Amino acid sequence: MAARRRGYTAPRASLGDGGKVASTTTLTPKQVESYVMRTTGPQQFFTQNFATLGNFNIPKPIPLQQPLAFIEIRWKGRIVIAGANYTSTAPEALQNILQQVRLVGTHNVLGQLTPIQMSGATLFAMNRLFNPQGNLVIINGVAQPSLTKPMGYAAATFGNTGTYDVQIFWTVPVFPYGVPDRQAIQYLYNAAAWGQTLQLQITTGDLTSFGTPAGMTTVAFSAFGTGGGSPAIDINLTYASLGPLANSINQAVVVRNVTTINSQLQSNANQVRLALLQNQRTMNVIQKTGTLLAGTSAGVSVFGTLSDAITEQTILRVNNNPIRNLQYNDVTAAFYGYRFQTVMPTGYLPISFVDSDPAANSFAAFKGDQLTGSAQFDIAANVVGAAGSNQGEIIQDMIYGEPQVAGQS
């Protein structure tokens, strides 16, 4: 953002196809720096009693009096396992209690969008893929290690008969993962773009979300710290205090699209198309692989295992020509772990266009929106560990619209 010696005058700008900034503003360089991403901290928005196998539509839209930066979700309650230990616990056992988190809304330029639609387990892992600090689980007052290798909870931690007071925290940025604040502010949610249309929807699981219960295993849910009542799902919102900058930015929208795959992983073959991707500006493509847990309740889908050994040589292609020609999946995971200063959890393999030092650079995203309409953008891999129970997800981390700051060249 350019600045004149005696202050900065922000003229009008547009969001590619027509969005207008609200007003012009004069700011000094010092003021610009002081207004960049001072967060409000998490503010309580809504509390919903937890019930198993439920579909909760939060009954009021997300308010946007200030630009929204983060959605914070907390599941807090007591889980009592009785009768018998779990035969096995899923590697993402507790995170599976939210089977799906979905955010929908209508953007004034881009139309109907679903920026977030992801399982609670995958959404929980995303922060760890692109940040040194992942999301948080606390069991009986003890913070559990962030997702890493190998994945999963030891039986002594969760899964044996016992009483577990559990807090699970999902921090969900609406902007690209790992970017500096000066880029993050160009992707926040504002009232001019979204009005009162943003709605959060949550689908919950049950005792089979945690793994394979034995024949006598029973699970009871209650309020945190007590045997009565119900656990709570709390929604908190964190806003950005941008001052006059709030009226000088037209934000783009980050959309994270998830495709479930299974048949593609059930026969060994070379360069199998795992998923056809959208021709949109793409920051990251993530492959998640493992096996599907059998015997879950209707509507509950759980990875019984996560594995790095099902595919090899995962690449991105346009019209069958590699644009990320990667040979070894373990080298790819180790490299992006270094670039994002993290350790890639078992079963997750990111391929990034925006890795940069010291922070991700969303403006380096692959310009898939400039491909011809007939171009085929896809992810392919050699399947080397085929099995009938194999399951996977492909997550495409995209940008819709063009972020514009008034006055930028």
- Owner of token pair 């949610």: 189
* Structure confidence by residue, pLDDT tens digits, 12-35: 333 433 333 334 456 677 777 777
pLDDT score for 19? 38
Q: Give the integer Cα–Cα distance in Å for 278 and 266.
A: 24
Mean pLDDT of 198-226: 98
- Owner of token pair 């979204």: 194
pLDDT of residue 4 exceeding 90, the answer is no
Q: Give the integer Cα–Cα distance in Å for 62 and 67.
A: 11
pLDDT of residue 407 exceeding 70, the answer is no
Mean pLDDT of 179-196: 94
pLDDT score for 25? 52
Domain ranges of the chain: 8-405
pLDDT score for 409? 44
Q: Give the integer Cα–Cα distance in Å for 116 and 96.
A: 16
Residue 78 identity (one-letter amino acid): R
Residue 282 or 11, more confident: 282
pLDDT score for 34? 74
Instruction: List the single range of 11-25, 52-66, 345-359 with lowest mean pLDDT.
Output: 11-25
**Percent of the chain whose pLDDT exceeds 70:** 92
pLDDT score for 36? 82
pTM: 0.91
Mean pLDDT of 367-388: 97
Sorting pLDDT into bands at 50, 70 and 90, what band is 250?
confident
* Structure confidence by residue, pLDDT tens digits, 297-337: 999 999 999 999 999 999 999 999 999 999 999 999 999 99
Mean pLDDT of 183-192: 94
pLDDT score for 247? 77
Mean pLDDT of 354-379: 96
- Owner of token pair 């995209």: 398
pLDDT score for 30? 74
Sorting pLDDT into bands at 50, 70 and 90, what band is 245?
confident
Mean pLDDT of 358-387: 96
Start-end of H helices in 99-201 = 120-130, 181-184, 191-194
* Structure confidence by residue, pLDDT tens digits, 134-181: 999 999 999 999 899 999 999 999 999 999 999 999 999 999 999 999
Sorting pLDDT into bands at 50, 70 and 90, what band is 405?
confident
Other C-beta atoms closer than 10 Å to the C-beta of 292 total 18
Instruction: List the single range of 16-30, 253-267, 344-358, 388-402 with lowest mean pLDDT.
Output: 16-30
pLDDT score for 27? 66
Start-end of H helices in 58-197 = 120-130, 181-184, 191-194
- Owner of token pair 């209650």: 222
First to last CA, the chain: 8
**Mean of the per-residue pLDDT values for the chain?**
91
pLDDT score for 383? 98
Mean pLDDT of 192-213: 97
Sorting pLDDT into bands at 50, 70 and 90, what band is 10?
very low
Q: Give the integer Cα–Cα distance in Å for 392 and 309.
A: 12
